[in-house]
Amino acid sequence: MSKVYLISKKHLRLIGLAALVIVLAYSFWLWNGSESASGTAAEPRVIHMVTAEFKTTGKDGKTAEVYRFDPGTIVVKEGELVELRILGMNGDRHDFVIEGMGVRGEIVKGRETVVTFQAKKEGIYRIVCLNHHDAQNEGPMVGYLVVSR
């Protein structure tokens, strides 16, 4: 003998509501998981740099000095929030720009300069010291910011 179960409209509504809650909870869980995997966190990625100096004496007895950023190249992701911390190790002062990013700053020996920006567009951007931009001014002092996808 087979059993027959009768389901009332009230039971159908409760089952439908429970299914809806489960689907919404699962959707929220998936959406929340994809948000954290995208790499767009509210906290900036901190990158440290220093100013460096190289000095040499030529065969003629003349001294030559050049300045540089170290590391000379940094790589970040497109859309990433970046906090660049540059410690002035050598040279009294370095005014700098990151071309194409709208970032400017001043590095002073013995102090740390902090600039925060969002790497909005893929490309290679020069970090240029305005005081040491060519060989006649103990340069060029150039670093590179590579923004990749």
Question: Quick check: 6 pLDDT over 70?
Answer: yes
Query: Based on the structure, what is the number of domains in the chain?
Result: 1
Q: pLDDT (tens digit, 9 = 90+) per residue, 35-79? A: 444 455 579 999 999 999 888 998 999 888 889 999 999 999 999
Report yes or no on 109 lying in a domain. yes
Least confident of 17-26, 102-111, 113-122: 17-26
Sheet holding 142-148, edge to edge: 73-77, 142-148, 123-129, 93-98, 103-108
The domain of 94 spans: 45-148
Q: Is the pTM of this model over 0.85?
A: no
Report yes or no on 17 lying in a domain. no
Output the domain CATH number for residue 90.
2.60.40.420
